Structure 1
Amino acid sequence: MKNRIKQAIYLRGSADFTSVAEYQALIDAQVAKLNQQCQTKYEQEKEHLQPLPKYRTPDYEVLTAKVSKRSTIDVRCILYTVPSRLIGRQLELHLYHDRIVGYLERHPVVELPRKRVSGKGKRRDRCINYRHVIGSMRLKPRALSIAPGNQTYFPILNTAKFGNSSKLNLTWSRLPKSSLKVSILLQFKIKSRP
């Protein structure tokens, strides 16, 4: 099946898709083409098949993870942030193919996009949502100056704009990418504009 999909992408001329739905449509077309080849045999066997089970089988894997004091969980070598109110709690995680749902005492408390390690030789990665840690960072904004990859936490650092004030924009661009910018943003809640 993988070879069929590779060939279909090759015949298409490009491996770039505008959306996941477009890629899924290509896969569905290849599956339908493969199923057509054995349609007559399927019709013969169909009368001997048993009915499907009443309840759907789970299409996820269950893991547990404890939320660290930094409001993170580690799932399959990927570091994810979760809301800071969950620090110290044990979460039951349902790993779907495209998302992770965290449950606390059988109640869903967080849903995260599923990320996979990409790149040769890369074993670990992280999926940081600054909205999860902004509350605790607001209490101690300088904590980010020593954090590795603070650009990952706050992508807003380079994109904040101050209207038409060229002096203020120039000063902002000259500031180091540190907790000073984070402190300013947290205190004044400046909106970013791309």
Structure 2
Amino acid sequence: MKAAPGIRAVAVYNEMLRRHPELSEGIRRTLERRIRSWRAVHGEAQEVIFRQTHEPGRLGLSDFTDASGLGVTIAGQPLDHLFYHFRLVWSGFEHAHVILGGESLVALAEGLQNALWSVGGTPLYHRSDSLSAAFRNLDADAKVDLTHRYDQLCSHYRMTPTRNNKGVAHENGSIESSHGHLKNAVHDALLMRGTKEFDDLGSYRAFVDEIVSRRNAAHGKRIDAERSHLQALPERRTTDFEEIVVTVSRTGGFTLRKVFYTVPSRLIGHRLRVRLFDDRLDVFVGGTHLMTLRRGRGHPDGRHDQVVNYHHVIHSLRKKPMALRGLVYRDKLFPRPEYRKAFEALIEHLPDKQACKITVELLALAHDRGCERELAKELARTLDAGDLPDLAAMRTLFGPDPAKLPTVHVQLASLNGYEALIGTGEAA
């Protein structure tokens, strides 16, 4: 016990039974009591937790907590996510933000700024967990850069950054204990809602915001009292994204953080400026904003992912429909499951070339006529009836063939007629 103060009582118990098989297994509780008594008299000093008194407007805490166990689904797909959680220690004001990736400075910056602008001020100090997860797998220079950017974020809001000692969870106790209460509140609200399914991420975020607002309402008077002690907000937010320059390749897209993104083919060869947020990418050419893309995530096993928009590639694919057969991102190309099921049915009953041709033309029809959802419903009805999609029938159903539209001749009126009207108006 003196040589190994940290040894567990159960380990001593197992070793005693091994050395003395004649001993009864019932001695375990007695042994544990005696070891506990011995440590009370002869054991080493233990760490003491010093409870603190808190002042209004002094300290805000940030942390991340895993929320995947809530079982939320978006459009039928499980949502692997975290909550960024902010709390003012004195009043109990809190803010939660749904994070799709892991712990990162981008996620912290977005969540923290949302929280500060929501409460209407900034505390003197901001404490985090040192972004330990974000530092993982970074080299020394990258860690220094990340630390510098975090310090700049706090400086913009005139907060002094402080950090927990590594591995000492109780130093963030004012928010660690609140994680469980927050997730329990969300879980209960999901049960009362009757379903954990949401149409989109925005709906789920609004749901979480409403729950947090209710929790804050319970501390309304104390939160209002602390607001008068907070520092004023700056004139504007600071950056909550990373900016990266990428080049669009001949494949009609670019790869960023193990994810391939398609863009319109006219951008092939161009250098794009990408602002990388937690849940999206804002794409610029020069100073012009081109588009916003959903952010993808590489797979845990190291495989790359793809974020594909069929509108970006359909013109080229129509010229090479057989490329669909072995396309790396084929499953991501289909905008809805019905299109994938139609392709699978066609490839099963028709030659590959014909199946690919029909599938590509169906995608082109959805693109040209703006009928993606309606066409998907019609494909579902066709497949449920045991039939294969009829391209000609679909084209007829979703609008006339442009080649068969009548030619309309418009005869322009003489300008003299307009002059006469003007003259008549002046005379009147």
In the other structure, the counterpart of 2:319 is: 139
For the Cα contact (< 8 Å) 1:9–1:15, is it kept in 2?
A: no
In the other structure, the counterpart of 1:183 is: 357
Distance 1:9 1:122 in 2: 32
* Aligned positions of 1:1-194 closer than 5 A: 1=85, 2-11=179-188, 12-13=190-191, 15-36=196-217, 39-40=220-221, 42-117=223-298, 121=301, 123-154=303-334, 156=339, 158-159=341-342, 174-175=349-350, 178=352, 180-186=354-360, 189-190=364-365, 192=375, 193-194=378-379
Cα offsets for 1:28-60 (capped at 9, x unmatched) = 244335545665554444334332212232333
Greater displacement, 82-91 / 14-23? 14-23
Q: Which of the pair is proportionally richer in helix?
A: 2
Cα offsets for 1:94-142 (capped at 9, x unmatched) = 2234321210011122321223356x64643111112111122223333
Count of matched residue positions in the alignment of Structure 1 and Structure 2 = 183
Give unmatched runs, 5+ long, in structure 2. 1-84, 86-178, 367-374, 380-428
Code of the aligned partner of 2:349: R
Q: 1:10 to 1:72 in 2, by over 3 A?
A: same
Identity %: 30
Code of the aligned partner of 1:80: Y
Give unmatched runs, 5+ long, in structure 1. 161-169
Code of the aligned partner of 2:181: R
Higher relative contact order (CA 8 A, sep 6+): 1
Give 3-state SS (helix, strand or coil) of 2:282's partner: strand
Greater displacement, 45-54 / 63-72? 45-54
Q: 1:148 to 1:22 in 2, by over 3 A?
A: closer
Q: CA deviation at 1:190?
A: 5.0
Q: CA deviation at 1:7?
A: 1.2
TM-score (norm 1): 0.72
Higher Cα radius of gyration: 2
For the Cα contact (< 8 Å) 2:306–2:329, is it kept in 1?
A: no
For the Cα contact (< 8 Å) 1:157–1:182, is it kept in 2?
A: no
Greater displacement, 127-136 / 51-60? 51-60
For the Cα contact (< 8 Å) 1:65–1:93, is it kept in 2?
A: yes
In the other structure, the counterpart of 1:164 is: none
Cα offsets for 1:142-193 (capped at 9, x unmatched) = 3333323434324636437xxxxxxxxx9775125x4543334556855543
Give 3-state SS (helix, strand or coil) of 1:159's partner: helix
Q: 1:85 to 1:42 in 2, by over 3 A?
A: same
For the Cα contact (< 8 Å) 1:71–1:83, is it kept in 2?
A: yes
In the other structure, the counterpart of 2:144 is: none
Q: 1:106 to 1:181 in 2, by over 3 A?
A: farther
Q: 1:61 to 1:149 in 2, by over 3 A?
A: closer
